[in-house]
Amino acid sequence: MLKSTKQQGTKRNFIDHIHPPSVRSRTLRPWTTFGLGIAALTCLFVLFLTGITLFLYYVPEQSKAYERILHITTGLRFGNLIRNLHYLAANGLIIITSLHLIRVFLTSELRQRYLNWLYGLVLFTLILLSNFTGYILPWDQISYWAIKIGASLAGYFPVIGGFVQNFLLGGEGIGPETLIRAFALHVGVFPPLFILFVALHLWRIRKDGGLTHPSPSSDTTLPANPWLYRLEFSVFLLVLSVLLVLSNFIDAPVFERANSLHPPNPAKAPWYFIGIQELVSYSAMFGGVIIPLFMLAFFIIAPLMEHSQKQAVGFFMNKNLWVKAIFILIIVSQIVLIIIGQWFRGKNWAFIMPF
Amino acid sequence: MKKKTPQPVWINYLLLGAAGVFFLSVMFTGWKAYPKQNHVMTQYIADLTINLTGLPIREHCTSCHPAGRFPLIISRKKRQDKPHPDITPHLTEELGCTGCHLGEGMAVDPNISHGLPGMGAREVLKKKDVQASCYTCHKLAPLQGAKLAWKGYKLFFEKGCDTCHFVDGLELAGRYGPELSTIGTYLGLKKIQESIKYPKNDPVNSIMPRIPLSSSQIKAISYFLKSRTKNPAHLTPMARNALRSEKKVHSGQEPSTGQNIFKDKKCMACHQYGDIDGGVATDLTFIAQMRSKSYLRDYLRNPQKLVPGAIMPVIAMSPVEEEKILDFLVTSSYFTLKKRDPKNLYMALCQRCHAADGNGMGIIYKNLSGLPRPFLKNSDFYRSVPQSRIIKSVESGIPGSAMPPYDKILSKAEIDSLLTLIFDSFIGLKRDDKKKFATLPPEQKNPLATKHTKKLYMKNCLRCHGKFGTGTGPEYLEHTPRPRNFTNNVFFNDIEDKRIARSIYDGVPGTSMPPFKTIVPDNELWNLVTMVRMFSKNDD
């Protein structure tokens, strides 16, 4: 098999190109990566595919957008399925990439791969921004007030906050420009950026020598074709199946028409920003500015604080204890805050029991 | 050469399994999404575009309601569709469905198409409720088929709703409550009815009084309000603007008699005057005999200045009209109390606020700036209040509250007998049964509250009395009677420091105010009094 790969050298296709000719047997073990990277790529693939379909029917205009969403959801054959898939893949992407980020941070030696870590952070930011701009497009009650909250969260940032808010809303407040802007960003700006950064991200993995591995390695190597390909294809199919099955049971939400005079009580940000909203409810300065800035700064500089000498790989290796501690603190606190914000907050943001 | 490695054959099985799972999920999805036989989706989706006053409206409604009435339920038992009732001179083909019935025309789903829950702004209007849409196109005039909506329009003025709420395009109206010009676009019928019926449900601190209305009257008003929409079809934007500027603030013509103005301004939509009773606000029958003309004038011009927390709006009127109303009230004090025994006096003068059973919850108590002092089960309070203060409250009223002075219409003996009645039948206390208090710590005068005092206030008082002493701290809604509003300078100008100190030191029985003598150190007591005085300082 190895021979055949070599012989194909001149006719290697694109798939061959982004893969190494051979991989270590460790790479193929499920618990090394959990297949999260491929799962994320699968979600992205589904998003592009369903996104193009939705693109054909959606109209980014305040008086039409909501009706168009209803038309897609109820009037078109498979329209609901497509929209559910888009919704599930989008939210799945956030969860999967978060897990991917955690896995990479805890197992890899990032100092050598700092550039790719930064690409990953850019991709994660793009995912959040795409999700947020997509959340707005149905223009129903929940999305209308989510953008209001999202924009005001952005407004807490000193110096650039006001600018970001103005840019997102296309003016001082939510107006007809807001929807067009969100739409343009969602379908015109972010997708090409995704393609660019995903390409860079994948290319960098090869450049950096594949997955990080213990050195000196006692691992044996195996040809990527067919083992890696088959494994990746299996993950692809499994993720696709999960999305398909779930899309039969979980409906993408649609609420009442946007009502600019009567906010829902409580008005909540999309779930991935609820952690920040919860923090802001305690203190605008700390929760809206200092803590998010600290988290961002930590993610950017954390890989530089590693021991550079040791080549240890595996969970919790090769990291300073306190770097690990801060990382886990950030992740756990965000999860707890999101849970509190999503299920334990009732009218006027008062604490309630969800049952 | 690399050494021979074991091949990860499990990947093959995984791939096989994944392919199987994928195949099954595709089949499952296909089966789920495949249109069921005889379902509307297998047939056709009606797609109509109707032009209503220049606004194209697209609808799928007739997919399920082909003839416009009952839905076509396509199952084994076919249900015959009935035609839409005759609505000549209208034509259903011209008007479409959602123009009158609302709902979401672009959806083909039994739940979504009929308007999603929440505010219910687009909830489908069925049967008689359709008349809520008539006046979105038609001008406000009696209209066949919209009798209730027309009645609602008239009630809106009769009941004095316009005294507080502004509705665009109508006559001069108040701006005291929220503007209702576009309410129909944002709220559903049920939500509007609920807000009229239970005004204090949401928000809980709403000051809107509960107007005594029957449920059919509420329905009628809600029909009228539902027709107040953002883009009424009968008005072009230009016509709307013209209406706005055309509004008469004060007509130049000579106002009619004071009595007519008194009626025109709908005072009795809330107040009682003689036999006419709005059931919302205080009794004005004897007001001119009890209060001076200048007091009434000041009150009309700014009710909150004399009774902080009063919910009465400033009524828009010209100085001439104001003078005529006052003259009418003062000169026509015809009413006299015929039966002057204590029981009848209580029912005529006290019962409206203090309630017939003396629990302080008379019919209008919710609309007053504070809870009328309860008599029933409140003996602790009366035991702690000196006799002279009780008599003074009746004789000269309580400044800064709705309690008027009664010394002009009642004799001293009558007041005395009234009090005896109240003490005997409600409070259950002998009039001279008074509690003996421990002496207060020696008075110290500090011109300024210290940092420590402020901390003490923050810790113990703020929860109820609020950061600025307005009586609206975070917990204020949990207490009845509500915490004292320290900024009520009219009230505080009238009382002594000693009483404030006593209330802090020993608490106020019958209210949520607990004694603070163990919490507040002796040397801080008078500093707190100073602090209360700072809140209630007259700023004018």
Lowest mean pLDDT across A200-214, A221-235, B145-159, B418-432: A200-214
Closest residue, chain B, to A27 (C-alpha): B8
Q: Does A234 touch chain B (CB under 8 A)?
A: yes
Mean per-residue pLDDT of chain B: 82
Whether residues B108 and A75 touch (CB distance < 8 A) is answered with yes
Chain A residues lying within 8 Å of B9, measured CB to CB: none
Whether residues A28 and B121 touch (CB distance < 8 A) is answered with no
- Secondary structure (DSSP) of B411-437: -HHHHHHHHHHHIIIII---TT--PPP
pLDDT, tens digit, 9 for 90 and up, residues B433-470? 888 887 888 777 666 667 888 888 888 888 889 888 88
Choose the final residue of a domain: B191, B212, B246.
B246
B23 belongs to a structural domain: no
Question: How many Cβ atoms sit within 10 Å of the Cβ of residue A119?
Answer: 21
Closest residue, chain A, to B17 (C-alpha): A234
Whether residues A257 and B121 touch (CB distance < 8 A) is answered with yes
Pair B393, B381: CB distance under 8 Å: no
pLDDT, tens digit, 9 for 90 and up, residues A38-50? 999 999 999 999 9
Whether residues B19 and A237 touch (CB distance < 8 A) is answered with yes
> What is the C-alpha to C-alpha distance for residues B115 and B102, in angstroms, rounded to an integer?
8
> Using CB atoms and an 8 Å cut-off, which of residues 14-33 of chain A contact chain B?
25, 28
Nearest-neighbour CA in chain B from A231: distance (Å): 6
Whether residues B105 and A67 touch (CB distance < 8 A) is answered with yes
Arithmetic mean of pLDDT, A15-36:
79
> What is the C-alpha to C-alpha distance for residues A164 and B22, in angstroms, rounded to an integer?
43
> What is the C-alpha to C-alpha distance for residues B525 and B520, in angstroms, rounded to an integer?
6
Arithmetic mean of pLDDT, A241-248:
93
- Beta carbon pairs, A and B, within 8 Å: 117
B40 belongs to a structural domain: no
Residues B351 and B422 in one domain: yes
> What is the C-alpha to C-alpha distance for residues B261 and A240, in angstroms, rounded to an integer?
75
Closest partner residue to B106 (CB to CB) among A25, A28, A70 is: A70
Residues B147 and B242 in one domain: yes
Whether residues A75 and B21 touch (CB distance < 8 A) is answered with no
Residues B231 and B194 in one domain: yes
Q: Which residue of A225, A237, A247 is the best one to mutate when testing the B interface, meaning the one whose CB has the most B CBs within 10 A?
A: A237
Q: Is the pLDDT higher at A192 or at B370?
A: A192
Closest partner residue to A74 (CB to CB) among B11, B32, B112 is: B112
Residues B158 and B209 in one domain: yes
Residues B314 and B408 in one domain: no
User: Residue A323 — very low, low, confident or very high, per pLDDT cuts 50/70/90?
Assistant: confident
B252 token code pair: 């130049």
In three-state secondary structure terms, A136 is helix
Q: Mark out the alpha helices in B102-146 (DSSP H runs).
A: 134-137
B486 belongs to a structural domain: yes
Res B41 pLDDT > 80: no
Q: Does A220 touch chain B (CB under 8 A)?
A: yes
Res A346 pLDDT > 90: no
Whether residues B14 and A234 touch (CB distance < 8 A) is answered with yes
Q: Which residue of A234, A239, A265, A347 is the best one to mutate when testing the B interface, meaning the one whose CB has the most B CBs within 10 A?
A: A234
B336 belongs to a structural domain: no
pLDDT, tens digit, 9 for 90 and up, residues A268-314? 888 888 888 888 888 877 887 888 888 989 999 888 877 655 555 55
> What is the C-alpha to C-alpha distance for residues A326 and A291, in angstroms, rounded to an integer?
12
Res B77 pLDDT > 60: no
Closest partner residue to B22 (CB to CB) among A74, A240, A259 is: A240
Task: Give the pLDDT confidence score for residue B38 in this predicted structure.
Answer: 54
**Could you tell me if residue A291 is left (phi over 0), alpha (psi between -120 and 50 degrees) or otherwise beta?**
alpha
Give B429's contacts (C-beta < 8 A, 6+ positions apart): B379, B382, B383, B423
Domain count, chain B: 4
> What is the C-alpha to C-alpha distance for residues B241 and B169, in angstroms, rounded to an integer?
9
Closest partner residue to B21 (CB to CB) among A74, A81, A241 is: A241
Res A239 pLDDT > 90: yes
Whether residues B24 and A241 touch (CB distance < 8 A) is answered with yes
Whether residues A233 and B29 touch (CB distance < 8 A) is answered with no
pLDDT, tens digit, 9 for 90 and up, residues A75-105? 888 888 999 999 999 999 999 999 999 988 8
pLDDT, tens digit, 9 for 90 and up, residues B167-209? 876 666 677 888 888 888 888 899 899 999 998 887 888 888 8
Q: Does B111 touch chain A (CB under 8 A)?
A: no
Q: Does B462 touch chain A (CB under 8 A)?
A: no
Domain that holds residue B494: 451-535
**Domains delineated in chain A:** 28-215+236-262 (1.20.810.10)
Whether residues A235 and B32 touch (CB distance < 8 A) is answered with no
Q: Does A157 touch chain B (CB under 8 A)?
A: no
Percentage of the residues of chain B whose pLDDT score is greater than 90? 5
In three-state secondary structure terms, B165 is coil
Whether residues A245 and B12 touch (CB distance < 8 A) is answered with no
Q: Is the pLDDT higher at B477 or at A5?
A: B477
Nearest-neighbour CA in chain A from B6: distance (Å): 9
Q: Which residue of B12, B34, B106, B109 is the best one to mutate when testing the A interface, meaning the one whose CB has the most A CBs within 10 A?
A: B106
> What is the C-alpha to C-alpha distance for residues B335 and B274, in angstroms, rounded to an integer?
7
Whether residues A238 and B119 touch (CB distance < 8 A) is answered with no
Residues B278 and B234 in one domain: no
B120 belongs to a structural domain: no
> What is the C-alpha to C-alpha distance for residues B213 and B224, in angstroms, rounded to an integer?
15
Whether residues B7 and A222 touch (CB distance < 8 A) is answered with yes
Q: Does A3 touch chain B (CB under 8 A)?
A: no
Closest residue, chain B, to A238 (C-alpha): B18
Query: The CATH number of the domain where B356 resides is what?
Result: 1.10.760
pLDDT, tens digit, 9 for 90 and up, residues A117-153? 999 999 999 999 999 999 989 998 888 888 888 888 7
Res A4 pLDDT > 70: no
Q: Which residue of B5, B11, B61, B111 is the best one to mutate when testing the A interface, meaning the one whose CB has the most A CBs within 10 A?
A: B11
B171 belongs to a structural domain: yes
Arithmetic mean of pLDDT, A58-74:
89
Whether residues B107 and A256 touch (CB distance < 8 A) is answered with no
Whether residues A73 and B107 touch (CB distance < 8 A) is answered with yes
B58 belongs to a structural domain: no
Q: Letter for the amino acid at A47?
A: L
- Pairing type for strands B276-277 and A221-223 reads unpaired
The residues that bridge with A257 in the sheet, in sequence order, are A140
Task: Give the pLDDT confidence score for residue A245 in this predicted structure.
Answer: 93
Q: Does A81 touch chain B (CB under 8 A)?
A: yes
> What is the C-alpha to C-alpha distance for residues B124 and B138, in angstroms, rounded to an integer?
20
Query: The CATH number of the domain where B495 resides is what?
Result: 1.10.760.10
Q: Does A248 touch chain B (CB under 8 A)?
A: yes
Give A166's contacts (C-beta < 8 A, 6+ positions apart): A172
User: Residue B524 — very low, low, confident or very high, per pLDDT cuts 50/70/90?
Assistant: confident
Nearest-neighbour CA in chain A from B314: distance (Å): 25
B255 belongs to a structural domain: no
pLDDT, tens digit, 9 for 90 and up, residues B200-229? 887 888 888 888 889 999 999 999 999 888
Percentage of the residues of chain A whose pLDDT score is greater than 70? 90
Chain A residues lying within 8 Å of B180, measured CB to CB: none
Chain B residues lying within 8 Å of A249, measured CB to CB: none
Whether omega for the bond prior to residue B66 falls within 30 degrees of 0, making it cis, is: no
Q: What angle do CA B23, A89, B107 make, to 5 degrees?
A: 95
Most confident region among A24-28, A127-131, B359-363, B519-523 by mean pLDDT: A127-131
